[in-house]
Amino acid sequence: MDSSTDDSITSNEDVTPRMTESFDSYSQQDVISDVNKDSQYVIQNTMYHYDNSMISYNGEQHEQEISIYDSEQYSKKHRYEMDTSHDSIYEHQNKRKKLNNGEVFDTNISSGEKYIEENEVIDNAEVYANESKVPQKIQRMMKKMGYKPGKGLGKDDQGRVEPIEAVKQRGRRGLGHYVPGLKEASLKWDPAEEEIKVVEDIKWLQNIHSVAPFTEDMNLLHWIKYGPKKHTIDDETMFCNPNILSQIIDSKTIFDRLDKAEMRKARTRSNPYETIRCVNFLNRAAVKMANIDRACDFMFTNPKNVDPNELLYFADVCAGPGGFSEYILSKKKWHAKGFGFTLKNENDFSLDDFFAGPCETFHPFYGSKDNGNVFDAQNQREFRSIVMGHTDGKGVHFMMSDGGFSVEGQENIQEILSKQLYLCQCLVALMIVRPSGHFVTKLFDLFTPFSVGLIYLMYHCFESISIFKPNTSRPANSERYLICKWKKKDTQIVMDYLSHINCLLSRRDDSNDVIEIVPLDVLEEDAEFLRYLRNSNDTLGKKQIINLLKIAAFCEDPTLIEPKQAEMRKECLKYWDLPDRTRIRPQISKPQDKAQEILGDSIGLLKCEATKLKNDNVRNTILNQPYDWYCMPCCSGPYLEEDKLATFYLSLGRKQVYRYVKGKWRTAADKGIKIELPSNTLVYAELVNESKWTGTYFAKTRALHIIDAYMLGGEDVSKLYLSQRSNLTKKFCDALWKPAPNDYTCIRAKERFLLTPDIHRRLRITDQRVKLSSNIAFELTKNPLERDMTINTTEYREMNLQEPVQEPVYSAFNSVIFIRSIVKPWARHLSQKANEFYVFNVSTRQSEFEVRNKLNNRPPDAVASFAQAFKERVIWSWPHDTNDTLNMNTLVQMINQTLPPRST
């Protein structure tokens, strides 16, 4: 969705509104195009003026320093030098000074009377000024004929005073079309009042209160104030300067009669950050999130309190088509797992358009009603259940929300119409964000007691808040973002209170609406909070007014352009750490070409056969150095069809998954496998039949078990140690795990065990309880993500109760695969003295403990890469190999004879 299709001069950024219904069914993020959206950090600047083929500066000479970047690296100074050889903007400023009314322009003009009256002064002044240029002889002749300066000709001075001007067409306006107040507004614009910079000032309000103004035994319902629903906002001056509010409303009213295309073009030319657009993302929302993330020192994509081995969990609410999520995934790739909650159909997430990041680890949610309505209390509870189930009951690390809906014709009261949306986004955040997590949400004006009360409640639920307007938010609208940092633990009271208010608002009782949720006297007691809020409203309001006047000037003069657009694009993208490139759809590759690209010289691995473990080669293979090997139970066996054996799986993105069978790449969908993998994924895996106990019966399903990984979502892991590859594979599978119910094939990482004398106990074999492809089954430990979602583990923990035992998952067991982890001439040994593993090089006699001070100390050249491990893999067809004397008892006996006893 391109912002060029947006007709509203003060619109919310990206798209033409896709719905014009009431606010009962809102659309999200880029679905808004309205007149009452943002106020922006504006620009210190002068305008270029085109004069034929020459570009020149006009007006007085100005000089200004603009901080492009903070710190030493970004201390560049930019100065504006203005050429006074041309007089276009000079005339603009000169006329502005000659207006009688020196205050903000008056928009209460019902006709052109004031326009004519004010310009008479200007025109008469020009007549007097030019009179001295008329030859004296002509002046005397005109005086004899009865001419009086400043008067018309004729007996009663009824003649025309001002010269007849040529009619000028403005853009697509009709000839002579007059827009009341537009010219006056354009003459009020002063370039010297604007400011431009890359690094924005973000001011935080610290929550210094050790005790919240509400307790568990306090009934917050007494705080609610009811009254008739408001339909005006011009009297909401308690939290802002009354003059600023009046000027904002008046300024926006001017554009009601102006052609939307003309306004859009003027807005595009006047905004210094306009050409940044969406870069390589699906819309401008992604760039806004990048802007916010950088302003907050990357606390969303690089949080300080997240373990590097842990997935980064996030939620994106009211945010279709998903620009926010695409940005996060572009930074974290598959190491982040997202949960989406938005309206379905035309406002849905556009996952196929996630070119910058993998959409496979992002999971949309619509609720049991399948509508994605965030106002619905049942949807809210179900969404919380899904999130808690996938995050071990902890919640997401942060939540983003960017909701909005069309308010065409009611732009000035958008804040009033959006208050339930404000509330529900904050409510969901309190429901799913973990303690010490973060929250960012889009808001518009903050003038009413309802909105201010909501901000106040969120202020007490987090350690710090900030009301911030990024550069990427268009300066002439009222959009801003509430950023909440470090969520507190005890927020249940506020969450329940907001949930109750949401139920009241859902009644749609206009005669008995909720107009206050925090009493004014409670707000007044917190002077620091009110000071911060009023200062924010006044600051953003002033900047919005300046930019509305600027757009009016650009409407009046189509030759004006913003000269800093190209530079701002370059400098901002560099500061935000975004690539300066256009959006291009990824090329479609053939699986054989992609495999060649990934494997390179190792392409021969596709045809590499495994060594079969027999009684006569066991001592030369796995028993040569038993601690060098890991083993895994497998479903593949000698009596299965070739297309069911372990093989390579390659993904080109989403459902374009291929498996290597009989020398060719075949789509996995041909075998009825419904699976999604991020592009540039190459793994060695097998398709397994599983059985799960549902409580009443065993349900049989199929799953993809990854044995080893070469590349995961474009990340080359082939040179890592086997345990690292295995841990990353498990993390990869957790990120891909789909919320239930779904019909996708489950993806698991194979359990692996070090080859030790207790291998017979580690391979958890059970008698057949269900009909699988073998007579015995292997007991898999159930992934925490597939626990019974009806069991509230959070409640069990809070009550110090033991959680119910989860029934294991059973898979067919036909063989054991052994994979080398240490490469020759290195070998792993167990220190009898320290009882720790170390590696020893038989050639150099060098030895190193694998772990020192809890850090990896293993020499890199001792690590067996994927290629080395895969080439030397060994398959043991136990327990079904009846043609050989090697059985489990024999193998355990041989291991005990080879290895020294381990001290305890």
What are 382-435's pLDDT values in tens digits?
A: 999 999 999 999 999 999 999 988 887 788 899 999 999 999 999 999 999 999
- Coil, strand or helix at 195: coil
CA distances to 28, 374, 398, 494, 785 from 378, in Å: 20, 9, 22, 18, 22
Q: Is residue 188 a part of any domain in this protein?
A: yes
More confident residue, 333 or 14: 333
- Coil, strand or helix at 876: strand
313 and 369 within one domain: yes
Categorize the per-residue pLDDT at 883 as very low, low, confident or very high, splitting at 50, 70 and 90: low
Known catalytic membership, residue 442: yes
Which position among 353, 402, 557, 708 bears the catalytic label?
A: 402
387 and 455 within one domain: yes
- Coil, strand or helix at 626: helix
Which residue bears the tokens 């408001």?
230
226 and 154 within one domain: no
| 417-420: Cβ within 8 A, 24+ apart | 417/23, 418/23, 418/26, 418/444, 419/448, 419/450, 419/451, 419/454, 419/505, 420/23, 420/375, 420/502, 420/505, 420/506
State residue 279's pLDDT score.
Answer: 94
Following CA atoms 109, 110, 114, 119 in sequence, which dihedral angle do they give, to the nearest 10 degrees?
90
What type of residue is 541?
A: G
Would you tell me how many other CB atoms lie within 10 Å of the CB of residue 86? 16
The domain total for the chain is 3
27 and 56 within one domain: no
Q: Is residue 832 a part of any domain in this protein?
A: no
Categorize the per-residue pLDDT at 177 as very low, low, confident or very high, splitting at 50, 70 and 90: confident
State residue 153's pLDDT score.
Answer: 76
Categorize the per-residue pLDDT at 256 as very low, low, confident or very high, splitting at 50, 70 and 90: confident
202 and 189 within one domain: no
675 and 782 within one domain: yes
432 and 386 within one domain: yes
Q: Is residue 855 a part of any domain in this protein?
A: no
Domain boundary (193, 223, 257) is at 193
Q: pLDDT for 287-319, tens place per residue?
A: 999 999 999 999 999 998 899 899 999 999 999
Does position 101 have pLDDT exceeding 70, yes or no? no
725 and 607 within one domain: yes
State residue 772's pLDDT score.
Answer: 58
Give 656's DSSP letter: -
Q: Is residue 845 a part of any domain in this protein?
A: no
Categorize the per-residue pLDDT at 56 as very low, low, confident or very high, splitting at 50, 70 and 90: very low
Copy the structure tokens of residue 316. Answer: 């994106």
30 and 84 within one domain: no
Give 638's DSSP letter: T
| CATH number (domain holding residue 659) | 3.30.470
Q: Is residue 685 a part of any domain in this protein?
A: yes
Q: Which residues contact 69 (CB under 8 A, 6 or more apart)?
A: 75, 76, 198, 199, 571, 575
More confident residue, 672 or 655: 655
State residue 336's pLDDT score.
Answer: 97
b/e string for 304-337 if b means 16 or more Cβ within 10 A? eeeeeeebbbbbbbbbbbbbbbbbbbbbbbbbbb
CA distances to 372, 376, 712 from 343, in Å: 4, 11, 31
The string of DSSP letters for 797-845 reads: HHTT-PPPPPPPEEEE--EEEEEE-B-TTEEEEE-TTT--EEEEETTT-
State residue 764's pLDDT score.
Answer: 73
Q: How far apart are CA 364 and CA 317, in angstroms?
A: 10
Which position among 288, 469, 692, 750 bears the catalytic label?
A: 288
- In the chain, the largest separation of any two C-alpha atoms, in whole Å, equals 136
Q: Which residues contact 356 (CB under 8 A, 6 or more apart)?
A: 280, 281, 286, 326, 327, 329, 330
What type of residue is 100?
A: N
248 and 176 within one domain: no
Does position 440 have pLDDT exceeding 60, yes or no? yes
More confident residue, 71 or 13: 13
Please state which of the ranges 325-334, 451-460, 585-594 shows the lowest mean pLDDT. Answer: 585-594
Categorize the per-residue pLDDT at 695 as very low, low, confident or very high, splitting at 50, 70 and 90: confident
Known catalytic membership, residue 370: no
More confident residue, 767 or 866: 866
Does position 95 have pLDDT exceeding 90, yes or no? no
The boundaries of the domain holding residue 169 are 48-193
Copy the structure tokens of residue 437. Answer: 């997590």
Categorize the per-residue pLDDT at 170 as very low, low, confident or very high, splitting at 50, 70 and 90: low
Does position 65 have pLDDT exceeding 60, yes or no? no
| CA angle (522, 523, 528) in 5-degree steps | 125
Pick from 270, 243, 249: nearest CA to 108: 249
Copy the structure tokens of residue 692. Answer: 């799960």
- Coil, strand or helix at 793: helix
Does position 84 have pLDDT exceeding 50, yes or no? no
Q: pLDDT for 467-480, tens place per residue?
A: 999 999 999 999 99
| CATH number (domain holding residue 342) | 3.40.50.12760
Q: Is residue 849 a part of any domain in this protein?
A: no
Please state the rounded mean pLDDT for residues 654-659.
94
Please state the rounded mean pLDDT for residues 866-893.
83
* Residues paired with residue 822 on neighbouring β-strands, in sequence order: 863
More confident residue, 698 or 625: 625
347 and 211 within one domain: yes
Mean pLDDT of the chain: 82
Domain boundary (143, 177, 193) is at 193
Please state the rounded mean pLDDT for residues 138-149.
81
416 and 334 within one domain: yes
Categorize the per-residue pLDDT at 774 as very low, low, confident or very high, splitting at 50, 70 and 90: low
Domain boundary (140, 169, 193) is at 193
Q: Is residue 601 a part of any domain in this protein?
A: yes
Please state which of the ranges 131-135, 253-257, 745-749, 811-815 shows the lowest mean pLDDT. Answer: 131-135
Q: Is residue 269 a part of any domain in this protein?
A: yes
**Which alpha helices (H) appear in 65-112, and where do they start and end?**
88-98
Would you tell me how many other CB atoms lie within 10 Å of the CB of residue 102? 8
Q: How far apart are CA 383 and CA 372, in angstroms?
A: 10
Q: How far apart are CA 722 and CA 526, in angstroms?
A: 57
Does position 718 have pLDDT exceeding 50, yes or no? yes
As a whole-number percent, the residues of the chain with pLDDT over 70 amount to 79
As a whole-number percent, the residues of the chain with pLDDT over 90 amount to 57
Q: How far apart are CA 434 and CA 737, in angstroms?
A: 20
Sign of CA dihedral 277, 282, 284, 290: negative
Q: What is the pTM of this model?
A: 0.82
Which position among 37, 114, 442, 485 bears the catalytic label?
A: 442
Q: How far apart are CA 525 and CA 523, in angstroms?
A: 5
